[in-house]
Amino acid sequence: MRILDAAARLFGQHGFMHVRTGAIAAAADVSEGTVFHHFGSKEGLLSEVAERYGRGFAGAMFEGVRPEDPLPDPDWTVRRAFAYVRHSDPSFGVFLLSDDPTTPGRARRANRQEIVNTLTRFLESWMARGLVRRLDPQVVAELLFGLVETALKECYARGQQEREEVYVREVAHAIRGMLEESTPLP
């Protein structure tokens, strides 16, 4: 955990390419060999940090909600997503959201997959119980992730924090529309 925490902080502050594994090891108070033993490479470490961030993000969005529960208010879940990026480790969240070409795609995919998998499970449960119309849960989960990710990028990575409330409101409105207006599959 110390290695993951140090890596998240340093990657978020300096970017992936500018952080050496030795600096991560020093910040975590372990040997550099320990970093490689547990994660195999700097890219492997970044992927694990991104997966952990994705699990935390999805967990924050649906904290206390189970797939068998009623559909939560989209405003509530979107607010929780924004709060997670803003409060948990904002520098790493912004790092994952940035368009920095030096951030390996494997980390972005790991983060995205954790969140999409959670959304898919919820959508499947809600659809099975008739809480949302029949839809392709995987595709809708990917679209929902893209919508929230884009809003977070504009708000935090592009310096629009003063407009956070507008982003939250509009994303929640779009989610309501997607789930309420879903066209049944043939």
Number of domains in the chain: 1
CATH of residue 84's domain is: 1.10.357
For residue 118, which of 49, 47, 46, 51 has the smallest C-alpha distance?
Answer: 51
In a domain, 54, yes or no: yes
**Residue 184 or 169, more confident:** 169
Q: What's the confidence (pLDDT) of residue 160? A: 79
The model's confidence at residue 78, banded by pLDDT at 50, 70 and 90, is very high
Look at residue 155 and tell me if it is in a domain.
yes
Q: What is the rounded average pLDDT for all residues in the chain?
A: 87
How far apart (Å, rounded) are the C-alpha atoms in residues 41 and 170? 40
The pTM is what? 0.82
Range of the domain at 74: 43-180
- Mean pLDDT value across residues 39-53: 90
On whether residue 22 sits in a domain, the answer given is no
Give the tens place of pLDDT for each residue, 14-23.
888 889 999 9
